[in-house]
Amino acid sequence: MQNPRTYRKSLGFPELVCLGVGGTIGSGIFVVPGVAAQLAGPSSLIAWLVVSISACAVAFALGTLQARTPHGLPLVDLFTQILGKRVAVLLVTVYVIGSIFGVATIAAGLGQYLSYFGMTRIAMIEALIIAAMLALNLKGISFSGIAEVLLSVIKILGILAIIALLAPLVEVRSLVPQTMAPLPVLLQVVIVVYWPFTGFEISAIPVGEIKDSRSIAPALFAVMVVVCAIYLGLNLVLLGAVGAPELASSPAPVAEAMGLAFKGAGPWVAALAIITMLSALNAYIVGASRCLQDVLQMRNLRGATQLSTRGVPTAALLVTCLGAAALLAFSNRFNDLAAIAVVMTLIPYVALCWVAFSGGKSAIGKGISLFGAIVTTAILVLYFSL
């Protein structure tokens, strides 16, 4: 007997773009610039550029895969076409685990900015925030989508305002490294920087809830344009206006930068960071739960795949959020959680590029997909060799 309840088709182009932007622009951009500056100083800009190119290649591969199908396909079905059911289920399971680590990572990043306001019992507050996001998602994808649009608009406008305010203060000499960071260090920064770029694929995940699947590929393109422009622009003005030493010394580098440049601005930026991370948390919960739901269905675990009357995968949402909360109980270290999340996300990224390359017909499309597979694989290999 098939499940009589179905997903609600509530997501249009704006919601898809905001889910992708929301999932990508999260805790990373408010934490990683400081880590990257500490490791490589102004040379860290090279890592941001390299990762931008790599992430765009993966997004292109995913967009071409979805464009080939008339109604859009879940990730597990995209993998199954070329790699078979067993490998597909394994890859999506790895992605789900990585996404649960991602939820925990974002919550840990939230904790760092909450501590900026002098809050205590951070772990408990992080767990309560995850619970609140769970409650929002249980109400239905339309509520999640509306929340994502509102939060994403606020954070994009806020970050653009930061870039505009810091741009006049940029000094070119602060962007020129006195000595270039060694190659092993730059490679380490590349790995760290990839965390802020993960999450764009969420635009293409909830296919059962998308009004028109033809909007998936354009949404992915729009996401990457926004993300790359904001990331490269923000890092340029942070390094140019404040300098690498100041960025490296703070767990909340963007708030610290604005506080140094404009007296009293730090708390406002910290509040923006919290809004940004709430947006990312919501998007990650949507992406992880839908992929987990697909895996459960492929495993024929019908008792666990029953949708609620609101058309949401209740069991998958509970596992995602409870799993993230449990991870935070073991470790609240942003860097450790982010490293695991990145590795477990890059593995499916490589597979996406390979599937796009294997089934592609355009020479340009195959070339971009192959490039994405090679670069992403190289980053994975470097992670385990450093």
CATH of the domain at 317: 1.20.1740.10
CA atoms lying within 13 Å on the CB side of residue 314: 11
CA distance 126 to 110: 7
- Paired with 307 in beta bridges are 313
Does 30 map to a domain? Answer: yes
CB 342 within 8 A of CB 115: no
DSSP state of 181: P
CA distance 143 to 123: 26
Q: How many other C-beta atoms can be found within 10 angstroms of the C-beta atom of residue 118?
A: 6
CA dist 14 → 149, 286, 294 (Å): 7, 16, 24
CB 138 within 8 A of CB 317: yes
**Residue 178 phi, psi (nearest 5):** -65, -40
List the pLDDT tens digit at each of the 386 positions of the chain. 344 578 889 899 999 999 999 999 987 788 788 888 888 888 889 999 999 999 999 999 999 999 888 788 899 999 998 999 999 999 999 999 999 999 998 888 888 778 777 777 878 888 899 999 999 999 999 999 999 999 999 999 999 999 998 898 888 888 887 778 787 888 888 888 888 899 999 999 999 899 988 899 999 999 999 999 999 999 999 888 888 887 777 767 787 778 777 787 878 888 888 899 999 999 999 999 999 999 998 877 666 788 888 889 999 999 999 999 999 888 777 777 878 888 899 999 999 999 999 887 788 889 999 999 998 998 888 877 76
Does 1 map to a domain? Answer: no
Does 11 map to a domain? Answer: no
- pLDDT for res 2: 44
CB 198 within 8 A of CB 21: no
Does 286 map to a domain? Answer: yes
CA distance 111 to 107: 6
- pLDDT for res 386: 64
Query: Could you give the number of structural domains in the chain?
Result: 1
CA distance 280 to 1: 36
CA distance 5 to 305: 10
- pLDDT for res 4: 57
User: Whole-model pTM?
Assistant: 0.90
Does 163 map to a domain? Answer: yes
Q: Give Cβ neighbours of residue 82 (< 8 Å, ≥ 6 apart).
A: 354, 355, 358, 359
Does 29 map to a domain? Answer: yes
Q: Where are the alpha helices (DSSP H) in the chain?
A: 13-24, 27-40, 44-67, 75-83, 85-116, 122-138, 141-166, 172-175, 183-197, 216-241, 244-248, 253-261, 266-298, 314-330, 334-359, 363-385
Does 9 map to a domain? Answer: no
- Domain of 90 in residue numbering reads as 19-385
Does 372 map to a domain? Answer: yes
